[in-house]
Structure 1
Amino acid sequence: MRPLCGLVGLALVLLTVASILRTLVVPRGKPGTLMMRLWRAGRVALCVTLRPFPGYELRDAALSWLAPLTLLATLICWLGGLLIGYGLLLFALSGLPLAVAVREAGSSLFTLGFASTDRPHLSAVDFAAAASGPLVIALQISYLPTLYAAFNRREVEVSLLDARGGEPSWGPELLARAGLIGTVEQLADLYRLWERLAADIGESHANYPILMGFRSPKPYRSWIVGLLAVMDAAALHLALSPSTAPGEARLVLRAGFTALREIARATRIAYDPDPSPADPIILTFEEFGNGVGRAVTAGFVAERTAAEAWPHFAGWRVNYESIGYELCRRSDAVPALWTGPRDWPHRSIPPVRPEDRRPTGQVFHRGGPTTRPAGQR
């Protein structure tokens, strides 16, 4: 039994170290399996628990804990794997009972030093365990600033998008507001900014997929919904007004679906790498027509009708729609317009618009209009 336990312990230590290195030290678009499995298991548990509660705000508040708890659970699993692995090694190399061997391994792993044996041939295992514990915790702590730096870069631009594309963001709304206030020419700057952000998201979220679980501070914001909104706006711009659409619209589309494909490869989402522009898309022509109507009614100048623009728009959207919908589903993003289904019953939430604000003191909220107290602004 002892030699077999020693082999099992050695294998467990090596597998744990490999998981740590793959997750924290060697990010190459191949995320650690342990962390992603814990995240998926936690997400399923939360979805089942929250199914009786229809409100999206409650669901968002609960899901905001998922990514931090996944990081904590991963650290516990790593330390637990090392504890059991080193305990089995000590059990195999000594005449100690299993409980005493695990106790000595824990004493060394957590550098407590309260349990030790005066046996030179066990010192190597004790020293390795003593070095492993602080190293794993230090690596996990150094991992957090990388995650939060990428999170902050992402959320700054998502927050700035609210004024342009609504909350939650929607591609036609972005064009509508630009047409309404006469800033269509400035959309080129927005496309240029989101081209760089898409590249950043593709690199960071492919290497650290747990970032998909870090939700925006406000429930109706989402990085994937914002990215889809900008890409849809660019595709609409090219389809409706090809002669005036800036070249940056093509660049942001290319950067966007390239980033989504990088994330898809890292998270094992199946997709067609070379779709035909004539392939069908999930978005219906009726939904497309409503979006075009919103943009044109608000003042966006269109050179083509909705029927004429539809095949051009679909030819762009076929490159990113399936991946975008799957990421929205997996991350339980706010169910905005044109973002696909979710794993829980929902209705699509349109963006809050300037005309929803009443000059009489009433403000339109999702639950209905309410009146501010006298004197409040």
Structure 2
Amino acid sequence: MRPLLGVIGALAVLGVFSSVVRTLVMPRPSSSGFTRVVLATLFVPFQLLADRCSSVERKDKVLAPVAPLSLLVTLVLWLLSFLVGYALLEAAVSDLGVKAALDEAGSSLFTLGFASSNRSALTAVDFCAAATGPIVIALQIGYLPALYSAYAAREAEVTLLQSRSGSPPWGPEILARYSQAELLDSLDQLFSNWERWAAQVNESHTTYPVLIQFRSARATRNWMVSLLSVLDAAALSLAFNPSRRPQTPARMALRAGYVCLRDLADVRGIPYSADPMPDDPLDLDYGSFLEGVERMRQQGFPMERTPEQAWPHFRGWRVNYENLAYRLAYDIDAVPAAWSGSRRTPSVILRPTTPKDRQPAAR
């Protein structure tokens, strides 16, 4: 039995080391089944409780702790797995019983030093265990600033969008408010900012997938819904005003946005069509499209094409990102905003409030 215990212990230690390295050290997308299972398992009871909440605010409060809590639970389970693995190795190279092996492994792993042996085989395992505990804890501590820095960078642009589109954001509302404030020339800057934002989120959220589950500070704000609204604004701008120049920022924002969504889908194992056809079906219907167009028209957004002419062009852009955006918004139970798909439970679609543009009186 001792060789078998040694093999099982070595596999346990090496497997957990692999999970730690993939999660905390490798600066590239690298899937760790251990952390995925921890997050998914922890998510279930919170989601079941959130499904019983009647308001968006209560649901958000229930789901907000899941991702941060998963970091703590993952660390604890890593250490416990190391404890078991090293205890099995201790038992394999000595005549220690289960309790004595756990005592010796725990004493070394957590650097307590209350149980030790002068046998060379045990001492070697003790040294490895003693190095493992501080290294894993230090890596986790160093991991948190990088994680929260990426989160803060993501949320800064999401918060800025609130003044441009209201909360929750909506693609037609962005164009309507820019037109209302006579800032249409600044749309290119918005699209350029979100092109860079999409690239940064792509890099950070594929490297640290737990960020996908981190929620915004307000229940009516959400990074996925914000990205979808900007992509819709870019698609609407291109569909209605083909002669407007330059068109590059809107096109590049769309490209960066759906590339980001596809890379996130790859990390989460979500299937998608890599080359959708412009006439593939959409969940967004023409009637909902007209509601958005009417909001834009009310604020004087210029339109070279009629809605009937613009619809095929708009759907040709939206087919690239709609399914993935809807699936991710469903998975993270994002705020039920307009044009963002269905949710786990029936929800009232929230729309941004219409602002009154009050300007100082002329003197």
- TM-score band (shorter)? over 0.9
Q: CA deviation at 1:299?
A: 1.3
**Structure 1 counterpart of 2:309:** 308
The answer to whether the Cα contact below 8 Å between 2:164 and 2:174 also exists between their aligned partners in 1 is: yes
**Structure 1 counterpart of 2:25:** 25
The answer to whether the Cα contact below 8 Å between 2:326 and 2:342 also exists between their aligned partners in 1 is: yes
Q: CA deviation at 1:355?
A: 4.1
The answer to whether the Cα contact below 8 Å between 2:162 and 2:168 also exists between their aligned partners in 1 is: yes
**Structure 1 counterpart of 2:134:** 134
User: What is the DSSP-based 3-state SS (H/G/I as helix, E as strand, rest coil) of the residue aligned with 2:3?
Assistant: helix
Task: Tell me which stretches of 4 or more aligned residues in structure 1 moved more than 4 Å.
Answer: none
Pairwise mapping of residues 125-274 of structure 1 onto structure 2 (< 5 A)?
Answer: 125-244=125-244, 246-274=247-275
Whether 2:355 is the aligned partner of 1:334: answer no
The answer to whether the Cα contact below 8 Å between 2:51 and 2:344 also exists between their aligned partners in 1 is: no
**Structure 2 counterpart of 1:50:** 50
Q: CA deviation at 1:298?
A: 1.4
Separation in 2 of the partners of 1:262 and 1:20? 22
Whether 2:298 is the aligned partner of 1:297: answer yes
Q: CA deviation at 1:37?
A: 1.9
Whether 2:59 is the aligned partner of 1:59: answer yes
Number of aligned residue pairs: 357
Q: CA deviation at 1:356?
A: 11
Q: CA deviation at 1:51?
A: 2.5
The answer to whether the Cα contact below 8 Å between 1:206 and 1:267 also exists between their aligned partners in 2 is: no
User: What is the DSSP-based 3-state SS (H/G/I as helix, E as strand, rest coil) of the residue aligned with 1:34?
Assistant: helix
**Structure 2 counterpart of 1:117:** 117
TM-score of the aligned structures, taking structure 1 as reference length? 0.92
Separation in 2 of the partners of 1:161 and 1:263? 22
Identity of paired residues, percent? 48
User: What is the DSSP-based 3-state SS (H/G/I as helix, E as strand, rest coil) of the residue aligned with 2:44?
Assistant: helix
Separation in 2 of the partners of 1:267 and 1:53? 26
Closer, same or farther: CA 356–48 of 1 in aligned 2, 3 Å = farther
Closer, same or farther: CA 209–235 of 1 in aligned 2, 3 Å = same
Question: What per-residue deviation string (whole Å, max 9, x for no partner) do you get for residues 181-234 of structure 1?
Answer: 111111011001111011101111111110011111111111111111100000
Closer, same or farther: CA 267–276 of 1 in aligned 2, 3 Å = same
Question: What per-residue deviation string (whole Å, max 9, x for no partner) do you get for residues 69-116 of structure 1?
Answer: 100111011101100000011011111111110111000000000111
Separation in 2 of the partners of 1:265 and 1:53? 31
RMSD, aligned α-carbons: 1.3
Separation in 1 of the partners of 2:121 and 2:163? 67
The answer to whether the Cα contact below 8 Å between 1:54 and 1:345 also exists between their aligned partners in 2 is: no
Pairwise mapping of residues 30-45 of structure 1 onto structure 2 (< 5 A)?
Answer: 30-45=30-45
Q: CA deviation at 1:118?
A: 2.3
The answer to whether the Cα contact below 8 Å between 2:16 and 2:78 also exists between their aligned partners in 1 is: yes
Q: CA deviation at 1:347?
A: 1.6
Residue identity in the other structure for 1:115: A
Residue identity in the other structure for 1:292: V
User: What is the DSSP-based 3-state SS (H/G/I as helix, E as strand, rest coil) of the residue aligned with 1:192?
Assistant: helix
**Structure 2 counterpart of 1:375:** none
**Structure 1 counterpart of 2:279:** 278
User: What is the DSSP-based 3-state SS (H/G/I as helix, E as strand, rest coil) of the residue aligned with 1:332?
Assistant: coil
Separation in 2 of the partners of 1:356 and 1:181? 8
Bigger mean CA offset, 22-31 vs 316-325: 22-31
**Structure 1 counterpart of 2:94:** 94
Residue identity in the other structure for 1:242: P
The answer to whether the Cα contact below 8 Å between 1:24 and 1:140 also exists between their aligned partners in 2 is: yes
Residue identity in the other structure for 1:291: G
Separation in 2 of the partners of 1:304 and 1:61? 44
The answer to whether the Cα contact below 8 Å between 1:168 and 1:352 also exists between their aligned partners in 2 is: no
Runs (5+) with no aligned partner, structure 1:
358-377
User: What is the DSSP-based 3-state SS (H/G/I as helix, E as strand, rest coil) of the residue aligned with 1:354?
Assistant: coil
